Structure 1
């Protein structure tokens, strides 16, 4: 998924938010989340270094108000915002496009999960009449019923994991290779345990 802000755009966007009025760091992070409809939630490690850089450049100042640090734009910062008004318009347009794309991805994920669920329900409906006339004491019939239940459990797990991962990414989260490795290892372990249980 493409980042919401291109290189350097977040710096200018933070400056434009401060041009609206003084804000503390958390307020800026919240404003960014609000402006992107919750699809982008920056971390403190993303926002504060940029604020420090803006301060070094003399574009913002900071004052400590109790336990909060409040950032305020300087005349030089305001001049940059005015001088780069066209760039800001481009950022706003790009931001709207990014949010739209993320929303489309989330909607696509939901549609895919719904199709999977509908297919599972259809399969369950067609399987039920075939099972009804049979003797429920027959171990083969019970095994087939348990197989259908196992299929449903696996499909539900798959749909939930896909939804969780896509939602996390859509909200601006990162997906580390170690997390995928842990998932793969857990699934390998579960598969080995299942094989061991079936051989008993």
Structure 2
């Protein structure tokens, strides 16, 4: 994915996040993640060096309390924020667009995984139809062959379930399972069931 912030934008946004009141570094990280709907979470190695530079520039102050440091705007920080209010408005609009783009990309990744699994099922069904020889086996041999194929099919279904569940959990963590995504999952599963039923007739 493309970088979230252009040069200097994260610095400005940290000032904006501190405007309502003092915050710990972890709170700033959490607020940024929430603002991006979970599609972006800056690391401590990204946030704390910038806070240190803001402190060196006299734009924020740091208060150490036990193991936590609290950051707050100074008068100079508020003045810079006021001077760059228009730039901050543009930045907020850009963030909203970035959130939408990232959500669409995650949702497309989930759909791509679903299409890939569906293609695997269809390929297995075609293979089963191509290799089936009516009347070739009978009695006990036929039951053994059928049982072996059932075990293989059960393994495929388990893998399908586990991979789709992992994709869905990742999408849920990013907050991108909406009504449209759920409907795509439902349609794909219905189609996979239809393909399987046709193969088993």
Q: TM-score, normalised by structure 1?
A: 0.67
Instruction: Give unpaired runs (5+ residues) of structure 2.
Output: 176-201
* Separation of aligned partners in 1, 2:39 and 2:85: 24
* Separation of aligned partners in 2, 1:40 and 1:61: 26
Query: What does the per-residue CA deviation read over 1:34-65, in whole Å, with 9 as the maximum and x for residues that have no partner?
Result: 11111111111100000000000000001112
Cα separation, partners in 2 of 1:124 and 1:78, compared to 1, 3 Å: same
Alignment partner, residue 59 of structure 2: 59
* Separation of aligned partners in 1, 2:129 and 2:34: 48
Equivalent residues, number: 167
What RMSD over aligned residues (CA atoms) do the two structures have, in Å? 3.9
Report the alpha carbon displacement of residue 14 of structure 1 after superposing the two structures with TM: 0.4
Alignment partner, residue 89 of structure 1: 89
Alignment partner, residue 69 of structure 1: 69
1:105 aligns with 2:105: yes
* Separation of aligned partners in 2, 1:7 and 1:131: 66
1:50 aligns with 2:50: yes
Cα separation, partners in 2 of 1:131 and 1:24, compared to 1, 3 Å: farther
Where 2:29 maps in the other structure, the secondary structure is: helix
Where 1:101 maps in the other structure, the secondary structure is: helix
Divergent runs of 4+, >6 A: none
Report the alpha carbon displacement of residue 11 of structure 1 after superposing the two structures with TM: 0.5
Within a 5 Å distance, the mapping from 1:39-188 to structure 2 comes to 39-126=39-126, 127=128, 130=132, 133=135, 134=137, 137=141
Cα separation, partners in 2 of 1:45 and 1:131, compared to 1, 3 Å: farther
Alignment partner, residue 22 of structure 2: 22
Tell me if structure 2 keeps the 8 A contact 1:4–1:99. Answer: no
Where 1:104 maps in the other structure, the secondary structure is: helix
Where 2:64 maps in the other structure, the secondary structure is: strand
Instruction: Give unpaired runs (5+ residues) of structure 1.
Output: 172-200
Where 1:117 maps in the other structure, the secondary structure is: helix
- Which is worse superposed, 25-34 or 97-106? 97-106
- Which is worse superposed, 44-53 or 88-97? 88-97
